[in-house]
Every structure is written in C-alpha cells, then in structure tokens.
Structure 1
C-alpha cells in the first residue's frame, strides 16, 4: 500500500481502516508477534498526522465557492429587514448541525419539504406584516404585588396548619382510617404533620414590608418563585416597552440574590432577558428601569423574579437551607411596585407593505421582488406568473391584501431570495470578479448576517463599491453598526465553540453561584471582549493575555473584582498576577472544558491546541478500549488522564493534550479558583453528596514545544507568546466563515497575505477583516 495517503480517496479510506484496526487492538492478530508499544505509538502518531493532512488536501475545494442558501438565522434577519416581522423559523432546518461554520454552502442542503416550509413561513410572516396596525397608544400597567401574594401566602399557611393538625390527629389514634382526616395514608400523614415549609410562609407574612410590597422567595410548595407577572403581550402589541420596578435589597442575603431577573415568553418556553442589581435599601428603595422590545407576531409575558438555576437546583438549595435555618433560602429582594409602560413605535428600516397600491400590482411586485432579490430585477415572465397568482386570488373573491400573499410568498421562496446568487457566465468562473451588487451582498452577509442596506446598494448601483477606498470606508461603517454584533456572536460562537457552555446542566448545589445569570453573562463576556478589541483596534493577542477584563457588575461579583457598578460591559483593569485577563481565565472557557460536574483536562487541553495554538490533535479514534479497570474508583483528573496514556493508541495525542489541561486544573468546572479537587462520593440527595474526597492540584506540565510551566500563570504567559500561531488559526477560521467554504491548502497564500498585512500593526481584529474584504478571493466568485 502506498503511504502517500493524500493522493486519492481510495488510498485514504484503506489507511483509515488500518488506523481503526490497530486502535481497536484487532491488528496484529493474536497469533502474530505483538507490536512493541513504542513502535505502535510512533507508527500511530505518524499515521494520524498523515490522515489529518490527507483530510485537508482531499477536501480542498480549490477555492471554489458553492452557491449557498441563507442559513436559518440569515433567513430570519432578511425577512425581518424586508417585512419588519421576525419570522418563526423553528420548522426550518437547524443549520448548526452541519460541520464547520453554518455559512458553508456545501452543507446548506435544500429539499422539496423545505420549500413547503419556506412557503408556510413566508405566508405567516406576510399576513402579520400586511395586517399590521399602528401600535396602540402607550399606557402604563401597574402591579402592587402585595395584593396577590399576601392573600395567597396567608391561605397557604392556613392550609399547612390545617393539614398538620389533621395529620397529627390521625397519627394519635388507630381506630379511624386516614380518609376520615382527609389524608391519603400514614406515610403522607407523617410528612404533613411537620408542615416543614410553614415557617417560610409565616416569616413572609410577619415581615412588615410585605404589607406594602412583595419579598422574593423560593416557596417550594406554592409554585416556585415569587414572580411579578405582567399581562400577556399579544401579536399586535409590538413596540418598545419600559419596565420600572421600585425595589430594595436585604443586606444579609447572598450577593447573587441582589439581582432582579427578567424573563419573557410563555409557558415552558421562557427566555432570559437580563438582570439588574439592586442597591437600594428598605429605607431608600430605588427605581430600576429595564427596556424590552416586543416583536410583531410574538406572544410574550414579562416576569420579574430572583436569579435562578436550571432544573430543580433552586428547590434543592431551598431545601438544604431550610435544614440549616428552619426557613429556607433567605430572601434577597423586596419589590414595592412594578409597572410596564408602552408600546412606543419600534425604529426600523423595513419597507411597509401598506405602500402597495394594488392599482398597479405589477409595479408593486417588481419593486418588492427587486429588493427581496437584493438588487436584481425579476424577469418579465416571472412577473407575469406572479400577477397571474394575484389575479386568481381576486377572481376567487379574495380582498387585495389576501390575494397578494401567495405571489409575495413565492418571491420569498424563490432561489433568488433563498440563495446568495452569484451569476455564472460562459467564461470560466474561476477568479471571476463579483458584480458590485453581489459584492454588497457578500459583505453584508459576512458582517451583518443580513441583506445590504440602502447606502451599500446605492454605492453598488453607482459602481463605486469596488473602489478599494470606498470599500474600506463601508467596511468600517458596517463594523460600527449595531448589526455587526451578529458577526461577533455567530463567528466567535462557532470559532471558539461557545455553544458548549449550554451542553451541560451544572449541579446548582455544588455550583451555587453558577446560575443562569452567570452562564449567560459569561458567554456575553467573550462577545463583549471581542467587540472591545474591534472598537479600540486592539491586538488579537489580548485574547491570550491582557491587563483588563471586559465585565459588568454581575461578572465582577462572580470574579470577586471590586468597584464595578452597572450592567453595561466595560474594560476593567486587572493586575499582572490576576488569574483573569485572557480567554483561559474566563468562566466560559472553564465551563466549556467540563461536563457540568468535573473539569476535563483533556477537553481543555484539546481546546487550547485547536483554538489558541493552531495545532489541533487528530480526532479521537472511535474504537479505543474503555478503561473499565477504573470503574467505580474516585480518582483525581490527573490520574484519570495519565491512565489513558498507558494505551499506545492514546499516548500519541494525550502526551500533547493532557499537560496543558493539568495547568488549568486550578479552575473548577464553573471557573472558580481552587487549590484542591473535590470529588463527591457516597449518597446523592438534593444534589449534594454525603461524602467527598479531596486531592491537591498539581498544575505543572509541558507544552508540545517542550517548554515547561509550574502553574497557570506560567502556562498562560507561554501560550501568549504563541501569538503568531493564534493569528494563523484565527485567519483560517475567518476565511472559512467569510467565504462560506472549508479552508483548504489553496488558501495558504491568502492567509499569508492577511497575516503579513496585519502583523506589522500588531494583529488588530478589524485589520484581519479589512484584509480579507479587500482580497481578490473575497471579491471573486
């Protein structure tokens, strides 16, 4: 067999089978002379490396860009820009399931079923847009929470007392059955006699401040949190609203319960909207304002409550607190009143379908289709068919605003709308320059994940967008626009695998501080840090190590950084010896490199190799033998990782991966610093282990380059010196995301050109973007 694995698919497939057979222990056969472990490890290391190279070479498109469909989020943004309606895209393909970035055209498939889904989604959105009425007059809805909770909690307390009396009466005799006392059985009576949550209700009712407001508590038996609920906002209640709350904080409560949590949605599909810290006191409450935007066609009920965890963590915590103090989790906040003011008209640039004149439907359809097709006018035959559909509806007795829906839905389900069409000519398409309108679309979907605005299209029509100076100015303008937030979120999320932070449920008892607020704000910290680097034109290397962190008050509390007030994210200085400053010190990174319970040196080490050092390890083989001999043992992370290195087929990768992960072990799964690794054992009750083992953490290790480090700070400093490798990996990811295809070997000259242009300026992120946009590759089909 040829060892030139990259020469063709057939050879690569044969060697993939060889790799699998050796990894699984099938080869050499049992009746043959065994392969020495050292030889086996060396061969597998060589073979794995060649397989990675072959995969890159054989998947290289040679720079060809597949005409791609709008992914789900781009489709939603485009419909919203066109109609002013945010469509429900839950029935459309989830493009996040594809490999690589969700902008890769070769992975964005299309089927006849999807066409029906696009038509249905378009019809729903159009009906909303056409039937839109001007937002109603702004009004104020005020809630006095004591009117609801005092009566309900008083009734609950009396019910508990009555149940306790009946349970005790039943247990005090043996002649009458439990049903005579309104009780199910003896087991139920034993539980009810103690009325364990009655002290919480009585404590609430005894507080003088609950006569004029509501204390936010976890009630366990009475529906969970004390929640302030506003009336439901319906489909045509769209607009901007302000929520105002007069609140005070209890000084003796834990810090995380000094935040109001705002959620929206309905039923179980609730969405976290944001948090505000309360610093007012019972003597001097403060008024907090929280803006919300309610979209056309949505159903939404805004609620206010204390910070929450996933799943049953809050109830488990309340139960544990009740065992300790007899009441439950002490309240953190008191609310005097809450009000919702609105709606005010939303600011937007979407065309109104009310501008349809219906007297000249053909012209209206031409105008709509041209904008939907991003500047490309529809053909006359196409318009004939659209007018035919409209007239058919009129002939059936439909009013004009109903008859127009089908032809418009056809426009919004056409290839010219659903695809970023880049026209082909008879000449070779290789390196063929994009038209000005095509360049406008490619730039807009790159930086805004949506269609170009009028200024961009005007410059394209005038033929000025292809001018390098004009293009640079427009790129700078677009990066300064609020819509550039889409680029930051979606590129960074996929590049750094930020979605992993949501893959695991964290034990709320074990990680009491790592609640929904920290999870969401830890993710936001990464995005806002990248925004800061772009806005301030700072070097990309500040993501490896920096003398600042970009945080708000909530994350400052989590990191124990003093002096940060307000929910806005901003750069906050930190000392050189701070464990924060750079991606490795963020809570998001620690959570990504864990399973929600324990940190994973393997996951963390592999993440660093992939994303920071641009030296990704080969994919883990699917048939590596399990370490069954360690089942049931409670071992520290280093011992578990070292056990993998005993297998020759594992040693080749783990010798590079694991030492980096060891240097990060001082961070637990939630990103909090620790000197010992604590492993829960024994019996698990309410999320808490009855026993535990503790192991001292040894953070020493060695980088693949051979450089050793003694602790996390030395590891971070060593990685920060690898800025060139980090910049190379970032460049390859940016090319892949921006061009909508996998990075290949033929892209090496482009990557080198971008790196040369940015290195002299210390690698500012914005310069990477400018260099890519100005390149012939970005401006070619």
Structure 2
C-alpha cells in the first residue's frame, strides 16, 4: 500500500497537469477563423459585391424570393434582405444551401418557373468562387485542441512502445465522437473514472512488459477484448450468440492442478422444464470450460448477462506448453414465437482467469525473458551502489521516455524518472522492479497520454507557426498508424529532416506499406463508412435465416481487407465506387452466389460483373443500411449522399409519419409505390427524390446484401433519375453515375481524411485547401498515396495558430 501511495504521490503532478489540460470540452462547434481586415479584403469584397449583384441577385429575385422572404422564408431561409456580397457572407450557411439546391436541381420545386442550366451554373459557380476567394484571403491553418489518445491509439501505442499487445484500453469508457470520428480533440475529455483506468493500466502494462524477479504471478487474467472466436465484444463482455468458443492461448509453465475461473452470465431461453429441485423455468446456458480444444468441465450459467459471476473448474495439466483455453457456448436456442425474455439464449464471457498452483510457482524453471523485457531493459547495474543504479536506470529509461513522449526529453525529466526507480532500491527490491515504477510514471504523464503542440502565444489568433519536426512526426504516425512514430521516423525528427516535403512523403509511402497501416481501415474507414455498426446489426433471422455470426464476421472482414488492399497497393480510390474484385471466404462467397471459393481464409477473387464490385455492393454496407426485416432505400440513399458525395440531406421535418404509418402506404403493392406515396408530402419530396432514386437502384440486394430479382414474388424496378437528370437502371448503372461524379467523391473523401488526420472538423477556411487538394489527387490518377500526400503537405496539417477562446476571462 505504501509503495502504491508513494508512486501515486510522485505521479500526481503529472496527473494533475493532465487533468487540467483535459477538462471535459464542449461538443465541437465551428470556430471563427482569425480574420484581419485589410485593403485587399475590402477590395475583394467590393469586387465580390459587383459579381454578386450582376450574376446572383437577379436570379434569386426571379426564382427564389417568392418563397424565401421575410418574415418566415420557406425552409427557414430568407433571401429578401441581402442585397450585396457582404450581407451574403454573414448569411453564408443559407447561401451555401441555396447553391447546392440549385446546382442539384432540388430547387426551385417542381410546378414553378425553373432556371435554365446556364443560369443554374452561373449562380452556383459565382457563389462558390466568391466564397472561396473570401476563405482563401483569411489563409487560416486552423487550430487543433490538444488531443488525448483515444482507445485505439492507446492500445496501439502501448503495443509499439513496450512490445506487448494487452488491449487494456478495451476496458476504458467509450470515446466521444465529433464530426464522425472518435479522435477529435474537442470531445476527448478526461473523466475521473478514466484517470483511474490509466493508473491501473500503467501498473498492468509495466508488469507485463518487464519481469521482476520478485514477481511470481499467481494468476493470469484475460479480458473479453483479448478473446478470439465467432462472437463479438459488447459492453458486458464477449458475446456468444451462437454455439462456439471464446478462447486464448496460454503457456502452461509446468504440470499441476490449475484452477480456471470464467466470469460469465447468460440469458436463459426456451419453454419451462422441470429441474431436480422441482422448480420450473427456461433452460440455462451450458458452458464448457475447455483446455486444448477439449471439454474439461461443463457448467450451467444461471446468472444474467448484467450480473456476471465466476464459474470455476480445477483441471490437471500433465504436459507444459502452449494450449488453447476457452469458454464454449454449447446449447444455443432461438424461437421468435416465445416471449422476448425467453426467445434467445446467449452466453456472455467477461474474462477467463488461470490460477497457477503455488507449487508450480515455486518449482518453475526460470525461462527466457520475453521480448518486451529484452527490448526495454538494455542495461543492468554492475554493482549495488547508488551511482551504478542511476547509470543503468538512465540508460534504460532515456530511450523509453524519448519514444513515449514522442519528442526530446530534458535531463530533469530523466532525473525524476531515475529517482522514481530508486523507490525500489530503498525498499530492497530489484532493479527491474524500479524500472517498472518509472515506467508507470511515464505511462500516466500528460506527455504520453496527450499529444501537446504548445504555442508561444496560445491566446493570439493571429499568431501562426509551422509544426516542429516531432509534432509533424506525431501527426503523421497517428494519422496512418494510430500509434507513435517508429525509430526511423523519430530519428528523422531528431535530425530535423522532416520539414522537407520529399522526406515527409517518402516516410508516408513507407508507412502505408507497413502492416500497421491496417489502422486506417479499422479507425478511419470503420467510421467514415460506418462499418463499426456491423457488429451490432440485428437482421430478422426468421426472414433472413442465412444471417449468423459467421456471416456477420465475414461481412465485416471484406471491406477491411478491401480498404487495406487499396492503401498498401496504392490503388485508385475510385475502386471504392466500382471494382472487378473483392476479398471473400467460402461463407461470404456462398452468400454472393460464388461457389468457387473454398475455406475460411479470405482471398482476393474476381466478382460477378454487374452484381458486385466496390463498397456499395458489399453485404456489410447493404445490411447496415437496411431495417431488420426489409431493405430501406431511404437509408441506402442517405448513406450514399452523406459518405460518398458529401451532400447529407437535412433532418426530416417534425411530425412527418414513418413510411409504414403513411396513409395508403400499407396497401401499396411495392416498396417503390409506398415511397411514392411518402413523397406526396411536399415537406418530404425534395430530399426523398434524390435519396429514394439512389436507394431503389440497390433493391436487387435484400436486407442482408444477397442478390435477388424479385421481392416477395413481385419484379423489382431498379430504375431511377436524379434531380440533375442522371438516369440509371440498377446498381451497375448507378455506379457509372457515381463515377461521373468522381470529383465530388474525391473532395468528400479528402475532407473526411483531412478531418481524421487533423483531429478537428473541417472549417470554411479550409475550403480553398480542399479544392486544391482534390485537384491534385485527380492529376495523380486518384491514387491513395496522392490523397495522403495532399493531406500531409497541406497547410492545415503542417501549421497551427493561436485561439482567442483560450484568453483569460476578464
């Protein structure tokens, strides 16, 4: 206890600084850029007013003001009072909506006079040009709130720093999301609970990475996030919703009687049965505690999923070495005819613990130290003097803290860590135990938990600067790897060579080919394309009996491998819209009607022309954009508009009934006709015209992404027309239409990637940067490396400014 309190006291200044730097932030809101008035600004505003009055105002007066006028303009937009460009700048949000609606032919509504294509183009291009000029004048690199490592970044950083993959952050509270991502500085707050988790995780990580002679582990506990099997991790633990085993591999050090403790809970299901104690009730879940893939003990799990309890089994191990240890769900049950509380039997496993017998601890032969220990403890004291201890501790800790803090460290920082290590010496403990103490101090430091970019004038919005080499290296590594810089990148930062664009680009290309770039699929694509939701999808298995956990896992794997392949092979980003290949295993291939793929391993294979290719035809996307019991053209169309074209529709107006509740909709023969009835409501028509057309073109795919030609025996009509006149018939022609909008898709993906890379929302002043970036990507053949190059060489990525919001209140 004394040792823990002392460690906490020494770490407290670091923890306090962390907490002060990371008080809960407000949800992200657009920030006002630093604007300075100049003759140039005034001149450009005058020029803008002339163009606005010549090319925009007459068209607005002719086609728009009739509906959009004071006091209550249609859709909340009033255009009657803005007579010059300066006024339009103040009401810019409304004018940008006008620009988009006119260009996409969503406005004016049908039945009223329409502008010609030339008039639409003139209005849209003039507004876009004027706003872009105003933005580019500001020349604002923006400001990123100091970011805490999110859960994925914490796990990856520990793995790459220490050489142990513990996934301790899986037990942390979920990170908040802003602008579609969970790495946004404005929402990554630090709660007291999370601080406690950091302290606990630091202790666990240091003991796992460094083996002290006095540490005799009496047990090994593996949490849900480290288990493998056919299930998925939820808030309660590892959920097995069908028969299967959640397991991990354990290296038994010697023969002996080991106790295995599985902390689990379950939802009983089924009709009442008689039990030996004469009570009646549904059958509980049966759980097998397995070793080496063989059942050792079977127990009945009688506690609920929100009341997990330990279940124990003593097992004799005759042969030492690695064996699989697991908890198996043995009696899956589902019957939709029963009441909800008895319908579905599942098993939840929170953790599996192996308790090592005392006699095994005493007689276990000393084995080779793990890689992490050999990597970190590069020196040992030659004798027992304080000076020799300090020398060895400094040699060990200096490179660790340099990598952990991702910057040069001061001699005072190293000295304090050496002093922390000497706590062990004062208590007659080992040198390794002292390094553990110091490592805990490193892992709760704000320089580890946060990514600070301190400014000389943090409260001056006009002060701007280039990032230094170490800040640039950190931005790059967490962008591409969700982890800290490796030795090569850190060495270049130490040598101050990263500012050269050629060096930075070469490092980015190297890092994209590294397996760690898989983090882009997990953390960027998983959120951009909403693929993380696949783990919680619940299709109606009565209507779609082919859906099970095995298919769910295959669905989730396909887009991950597809995205990673584009990244690591530097392929065209347009393959997201259409491709002639994908990655399938036997389960998913069979679902797609392909019988040539065999085995559980995924392989790259050609797809059926016209049916598959690109992310739109992947079962994961098609299922997450469906309802449990049927497809949803509205959800699918909205998904395309939001994620691929960057034109999300506004929220639906209040008091509009759901499709099934619409008068006459339930009597309509087809989903297309039901949607037509829904669009008769003028409040719904404008947005649904575009969403429905896109979604209906994907009706050849059912609610779990399986190809079909009819729906309930009725032929499917997959034709459609967009407001801009684009026509298509089915998914193949829809993809051609989307490829015709490749510049819009490129700009959308660039904006999403820039948001993710910066850790802040893209602001209006970034617009001119985005335009230039998207054009660069197109000029370089739409290669993935081109979009990464555009991001990392952009002004927002390489610079930052002060912020007036940090000024003290007066």
TM over 0.5: yes
Q: Does structure 2 retain, via aligned residues, the 8 Å contact 1:62–1:744?
A: no
In structure 2, C-alpha distance between the alignment counterparts of 1:14 and 1:575, rounded to whole Å:
44
Decide which of 579, 583, 587 is 1:550's aligned counterpart: 583
| Shift of residue 38, structure 1, vs aligned partner | 7.5
Asked if residue 610 in structure 1 is aligned to residue 642 in structure 2, the reply is yes
Q: 1:666 to 1:373 in 2, by over 3 A?
A: same
In structure 1, C-alpha distance between the alignment counterparts of 2:368 and 2:602, rounded to whole Å:
26
Q: Which residue of 1 aligns with 2:690?
A: 656
| Shift of residue 369, structure 1, vs aligned partner | 2.4
Decide which of 270, 290, 293 is 1:229's aligned counterpart: 290
In structure 2, C-alpha distance between the alignment counterparts of 1:103 and 1:770, rounded to whole Å:
20
Asked if residue 106 in structure 1 is aligned to residue 138 in structure 2, the reply is no
| Shift of residue 413, structure 1, vs aligned partner | 1.8
Q: Does structure 1 retain, via aligned residues, the 8 Å contact 2:285–2:329?
A: no
Matches within 5 A, 1:212-291: 229-230=290-291
| Shift of residue 672, structure 1, vs aligned partner | 0.9
| Shift of residue 600, structure 1, vs aligned partner | 0.8
Q: 1:61 to 1:513 in 2, by over 3 A?
A: farther
Decide which of 716, 733, 737 is 1:714's aligned counterpart: 733
Q: 1:406 to 1:79 in 2, by over 3 A?
A: same
Provide Cα deviations, 1:745-771, integer angstroms capped at 9, x if missing partner.
222232222222221332011221123
In structure 2, C-alpha distance between the alignment counterparts of 1:739 and 1:14, rounded to whole Å:
23
In structure 2, C-alpha distance between the alignment counterparts of 1:344 and 1:703, rounded to whole Å:
66
Q: Which residue of 1 aligns with 2:474?
A: 441
Q: Which residue of 2 aligns with 1:408?
A: 439
Q: Which residue of 2 aligns with 1:19?
A: none
Provide Cα deviations, 1:210-261, integer angstroms capped at 9, x if missing partner.
xxxxxxxxxx979679x79325xxxxxxxxxxx899xxxxxxxxxxxxxxxx
Matches within 5 A, 1:137-536: 229-230=290-291, 301-302=325-326, 312-313=333-334, 351-353=375-377, 357=381, 359-360=389-390, 361=393, 364-378=396-410, 380=412, 382-383=413-414, 385-386=416-417, 389-391=420-422, 402=433, 405-426=436-457, 431-536=464-569
Q: Which residue of 2 aligns with 1:129?
A: 209
768-777 or 732-741, which deviates more: 768-777
| Shift of residue 566, structure 1, vs aligned partner | 4.3
Q: Which residue of 2 aligns with 1:595?
A: 627
Decide which of 129, 137, 143 is 1:64's aligned counterpart: 143
In structure 2, C-alpha distance between the alignment counterparts of 1:37 and 1:706, rounded to whole Å:
14
In structure 2, C-alpha distance between the alignment counterparts of 1:507 and 1:350, rounded to whole Å:
52
Alignment gaps of 5+ in structure 1: 16-35, 142-162, 168-178, 189-219, 232-242, 246-266, 270-292, 318-342, 679-693
Matches within 5 A, 1:632-651: 633=666, 636-651=670-685
In structure 2, C-alpha distance between the alignment counterparts of 1:575 and 1:666, rounded to whole Å:
14
Provide Cα deviations, 1:239-294, integer angstroms capped at 9, x if missing partner.
xxxx899xxxxxxxxxxxxxxxxxxxxx979xxxxxxxxxxxxxxxxxxxxxxx99
Alignment gaps of 5+ in structure 2: 1-69, 71-77, 95-108, 116-122, 218-249, 257-271, 296-303, 307-320, 338-366, 382-387, 801-810
Q: Which residue of 1 aligns with 2:777?
A: 758
763-772 or 730-739, which deviates more: 763-772
Q: Which residue of 1 aligns with 2:174?
A: 94
Q: Which residue of 1 aligns with 2:155?
A: 76
Q: Does structure 2 retain, via aligned residues, the 8 Å contact 1:727–1:755?
A: yes
Q: 1:756 to 1:416 in 2, by over 3 A?
A: same
Q: Does structure 1 retain, via aligned residues, the 8 Å contact 2:747–2:774?
A: yes
In structure 2, C-alpha distance between the alignment counterparts of 1:88 and 1:674, rounded to whole Å:
44
Q: 1:351 to 1:430 in 2, by over 3 A?
A: farther
In structure 1, C-alpha distance between the alignment counterparts of 2:415 and 2:372, rounded to whole Å:
32
SS in 2 for 1:550: strand
| Shift of residue 108, structure 1, vs aligned partner | 1.3
Q: 1:661 to 1:139 in 2, by over 3 A?
A: farther
Q: Does structure 1 retain, via aligned residues, the 8 Å contact 2:697–2:719?
A: yes
Q: 1:493 to 1:136 in 2, by over 3 A?
A: closer
Provide Cα deviations, 1:158-201, integer angstroms capped at 9, x if missing partner.
xxxxx99xx9xxxxxxxxxxx9x99779xx9xxxxxxxxxxxxx
In structure 2, C-alpha distance between the alignment counterparts of 1:117 and 1:712, rounded to whole Å:
48
CA RMSD between the two structures: 5.1
Q: 1:735 to 1:349 in 2, by over 3 A?
A: farther
In structure 1, C-alpha distance between the alignment counterparts of 2:734 and 2:585, rounded to whole Å:
27
In structure 2, C-alpha distance between the alignment counterparts of 1:631 and 1:119, rounded to whole Å:
60
Provide Cα deviations, 1:114-148, integer angstroms capped at 9, x if missing partner.
3333222212222333347899589999xxxxxxx
Matches within 5 A, 1:678-757: 678=712, 695-757=714-776
- TM-score normalised by L of structure 1: 0.64
Provide Cα deviations, 1:512-559, integer angstroms capped at 9, x if missing partner.
222112211112111211222233332211221222223233322221
SS in 1 for 2:169: coil
Provide Cα deviations, 1:314-337, integer angstroms capped at 9, x if missing partner.
x779xxxxxxxxxxxxxxxxxxxx
| Shift of residue 468, structure 1, vs aligned partner | 2.8
Provide Cα deviations, 1:703-727, integer angstroms capped at 9, x if missing partner.
2322222333322322232222111
Number of aligned positions between the proteins: 589
Q: Does structure 2 retain, via aligned residues, the 8 Å contact 1:606–1:617?
A: yes
Q: Which residue of 2 aligns with 1:583?
A: 615
| Shift of residue 677, structure 1, vs aligned partner | 2.8
Q: 1:551 to 1:451 in 2, by over 3 A?
A: same
Q: Does structure 2 retain, via aligned residues, the 8 Å contact 1:549–1:571?
A: yes
Q: Does structure 1 retain, via aligned residues, the 8 Å contact 2:379–2:395?
A: no
119-128 or 88-97, which deviates more: 88-97
In structure 2, C-alpha distance between the alignment counterparts of 1:82 and 1:96, rounded to whole Å:
25
| Shift of residue 638, structure 1, vs aligned partner | 2.5
| Shift of residue 646, structure 1, vs aligned partner | 2.8
- TM-score normalised by L of structure 2: 0.62
| Shift of residue 633, structure 1, vs aligned partner | 4.0
Q: 1:412 to 1:554 in 2, by over 3 A?
A: same
Q: Which residue of 1 aligns with 2:344?
A: none
Q: 1:572 to 1:13 in 2, by over 3 A?
A: closer
Q: Does structure 2 retain, via aligned residues, the 8 Å contact 1:230–1:303?
A: no
Q: 1:87 to 1:614 in 2, by over 3 A?
A: closer
Provide Cα deviations, 1:728-747, integer angstroms capped at 9, x if missing partner.
11111111111111112222
